[in-house]
Every structure is written in structure tokens, then in C-alpha cells.
Amino acid sequence: MKSYKDKVHFYGRVTNSIAMLLFISYPLLFSCFYKAWPSFGPFIKGLLGVIPIFWTVAVIEVFTFAPMLGTAGSYLGFVTGNVTSLKVPAAINAMEAMKVDAQSEEGEVVSTMAIALSSIVTILIIFLGMLLLANIRPFLESPSLKPAFDNILPALFGGLAVVFFSKNYKIAIAPCLLMILLFVFIPSLSSAVSLMVPVGACFTIVVSRILYKKGLI
């Protein structure tokens, strides 16, 4: 009899494979229907422009976020998207509220439910937005709301950061200083935030290990 983890991996692979086929199907069917195929040269040139960034980030995110989301949560999160900006904060906040660990059975359940509910809410909001776009567009595009939309992610991760920093400020100081210095002295890194996430994670692990060996944490 298959264990829970085996079933999760099986259905996770199936759903992710179906999702990838669906992603590819639209441009493929579009090209078949209109008989409009991209030229080989521009196609390869376009791929070479995105592969080094997006494929690298995709691999890095799997290794960075999978331990934080749990097995089922990882499959569900990556197939529904918006992992960094929505799924990770939702799952971490839910597990923090329930005081469970991501690698525990309880954390697995809480993380999966949080990611599933955030996906459902996102779909509902997008659906309502499409229906009401004509009516709410002037309000959303008003100059008074622009600063709010520009600071959604900093506000979201800032709220989560306070929770984790308060747990062990000694571990938080070093990566915060590193990121502040990097972004202040190398502003161009602001366009590669996703790549900096694993850099910060690795640096934090190294610093934590050093502090642990010295008996400071």
C-alpha cells in the first residue's frame, strides 16, 4: 500500500506534467491554427535571453522553497504560480499562526490548505476583477492609490519579516546587513531579487552555523 508521501509525489508529478502541457498547448495550437511559426533564429535568440534567468531561478526556488512549503504544498504552489509573492507568505503565515513546522505532518496539512485557499481566493478575485474592471478601473488607476500598489510586496514581506526577526534577531542581523549593503552599492541587483533569495539563504545558513559553533545561539 502506497504511503501518503508516495501518493503526493505521484499526483504531484501528474498534475505538474499536465500543467506544463497546458502551458505549451496554447502557443502550439495558436501556431497550428494560424499557420504562423516563429523563425528558428529569433526563437533561439529569445530563448537564450530568458533561459539563464528564468530556468536558473526556477531550479533555485525549488530547493529554497520546498523545505518551507512541505511536499504537497510545494507541488500545489509551483503548479498554481506566484510562489514568492503569494504562496510562500500564505503558507508561512498560516504555519506560524498554528505553531507547526513545515516538515511535520501538521505543517504539511496547514501549508497545503493555506496554499489551496490562497489559490482559490486569487482566482475569485481575478474573476471578479474581470467582471468589474470597467467600473473599478478609474479607482485603481487613481494617483492616490499608486503608492500603495508600489509597496504591496515590501509591506507583505515586511510584516512576515518582523515575525521571524523577533524569533532570533542574532541570525537576522547579518543577512539584513548584507542585503542592504548589496542593494545600496549595487542598485542594479533590484532587477534580480529572485536570484538574491538563495544567496541570502545560503549566507544565513553559514552565519547561523558559525554562531552556533561559538555558542551564541
Domain assignment of residue 9, yes or no: no
Domain boundary among 125, 152, 167: 167
Q: How confident is the model at residue 194 (pLDDT cuts 50, 70, 90)?
A: low
Based on the fold, state whether residues 186 and 205 are members of the same structural domain: yes
Based on the fold, state whether residues 67 and 135 are members of the same structural domain: yes
Write out pLDDT tens, residues 135-162: 777 777 778 777 877 777 777 777 767 7
Based on the fold, state whether residues 184 and 104 are members of the same structural domain: no
Based on the fold, state whether residues 97 and 157 are members of the same structural domain: yes
* DSSP one-letter code for 102: T
Range of the domain at 193: 168-217
**With the CA atoms of 152, 70, 12 and 51 taken in that order, what torsion angle do they form, in degrees rounded to the nearest 10?**
50
Domain assignment of residue 153, yes or no: yes
Domain assignment of residue 11, yes or no: no
Q: How far apart are CA 133 and CA 135, in angstroms?
A: 5
The residue-averaged pLDDT of 108-133 equals 86
Domain assignment of residue 79, yes or no: yes
Based on the fold, state whether residues 83 and 141 are members of the same structural domain: yes
Task: Report yes or no on whether pTM surpasses 0.85.
Answer: no
Based on the fold, state whether residues 70 and 159 are members of the same structural domain: yes
Q: How far apart are CA 79 and CA 87, in angstroms?
A: 11
Q: How far apart are CA 83 and CA 38, in angstroms?
A: 30
Domain assignment of residue 49, yes or no: yes
The structural domain count of the chain equals 2
